[in-house]
Amino acid sequence: MLDHPLNSLGFAKPPSETRVVVAMSGGVDSSVVAAQLKEEGYDVVGVTLQLYDHGAALAKKGACCAGRDIHDARRVAETMGFPHYVLDYENTFREAVIEEFADAYLAGATPVPCIRCNERVKFKDLLATAKDLEADCMATGHYIQRMQGVTGPELHCAADANRDQSYFLFSTTPEQLDYLRFPLGHLASKAETRALASKYGLPVADKPDSQDICFVPNGNYAAVIEKLRPGAAEPGEIVDLEGRVLGTHRGVIHYTIGQRKGLGIGGLGDPVYVVRLDPDSRRVIVGPKEALSTRIVPVREVNWLGDTPFDSRAEWHVNVKVRSTRPPRPAVIRPISATEAEVELLNPEDGVSAGQACVFYAPEGSRILGGGWIWRGR
């Protein structure tokens, strides 16, 4: 008897015998993934996570995993005829993501909670749940590609550079990548996704994309920090690089590295930017734009997706992103250990901030080689 040819998810059996858990946020992307796999004949199980107390966000459009989104995910499952479950992960999400977000801001960093959510909740606890459900794999609506390489699955940028989510998925481990599938990564544009949603008659075909961090309504980070850490927004001094007091501020948590507007210290002649935050002394340090320029970036918690061990070389010549909105730029990574390194940017960048990710890309092609978390160093 001949072996069955590989199906579209890479398994040597019919789609009907292949169970796939789809992580459904209630948005159009994950809804299309679930609908497409169901139409292809897979044994689809939809799972939506309730990540936080969504009472205040029920009417909030564009907030992932709020009450409305759970309802929308359920409607998609009913439309396509597959089972759907809602799992309460509020405590896990608060402990693994929200608490660290608050602490990082209080320490003067600029955290990226969406990465931590993927790393600590969706690709950890939810992935374990998918295995408990005896699924062969878990699929998501992320715009990123998984390709089979010489040594195993590789992570690659999405075909549509405008939708690419590689910055937010750098911490995906090889073991997780083996189990995950990203059916939208090859699409040329979001318009194709919406066209598929219309084709399947999904009720979310015209739903707007999410914009904010799910637990930060209206993008007001400081208000969330003050709620989580009462008294956190203590006023202090705004000083220049020499320590001269230029004014006062209403709390370090209201400021980010590179900020120019809203400082309230006009009349200086040349524009000034936030170049450093010192929460211990409650000081916001400002200076000229050139003071923002950074060449050496310390990183830790490195997740390496290359074919040979990270610390097997003294240097890696790669491209890196130090913010999600910037293109990859040439750099040299010098490993200190298997999980820590110094990154030298060949061309200095402005506004590099502790708490952001530094993501590594192959100098040619679309492969993602991993990344690490930027910190202030020793």
Q: Which residues are known catalytic residues?
A: 117, 214
Residue 6 main-chain phi, psi, to 5 deg: -65, 135
**Helix 28-39 crosses helix 67-80 at what angle (to 10 degrees)?**
20
On whether 171 is known to bind a ligand per the annotation, the reply is: no
On whether 27 is known to bind a ligand per the annotation, the reply is: yes
Task: Note every long-range contact of 160-167, with CB atoms under 8 Å and residues 24 or more positions apart, other chains counting.
Answer: 160/187, 160/188, 160/189, 160/190, 162/189, 162/190, 163/189, 163/190, 166/359, 166/361, 166/368, 167/115, 167/321, 167/324, 167/357, 167/359
Strands (DSSP E) along the chain, which ranges? Answer: 19-23, 43-50, 84-88, 137-139, 144-148, 153-157, 180-181, 236-239, 245-249, 273-278, 283-287, 293-304, 316-321, 329-335, 340-350, 357-361, 368-374
On whether 141 is known to bind a ligand per the annotation, the reply is: yes
Torsion region of 146: left, alpha or beta (phi above 0 gives left; psi -120 to 50 gives alpha): beta
3-state SS, residue 178: helix
Q: Which amino acid is at 99?
A: E
Residue 297 and residue 180: Cα distance in Å, rounded? Answer: 31
On whether 28 is known to bind a ligand per the annotation, the reply is: yes
On whether 53 is known to bind a ligand per the annotation, the reply is: no
On whether 269 is known to bind a ligand per the annotation, the reply is: no
Residue 329 and residue 346: Cα distance in Å, rounded? Answer: 8
DSSP 35: H
On whether 1 is known to bind a ligand per the annotation, the reply is: no
Contacts of 18 (CB under 8 A, 6+ apart): 7, 9, 11, 42, 43, 136, 137
Residue 240 neighbours by CB distance under 10 Å: 17
Q: Which residues are annotated binding-site positions for ATP?
A: 23-30, 49, 141
Residues belonging to the binding site are 23-30, 49, 141
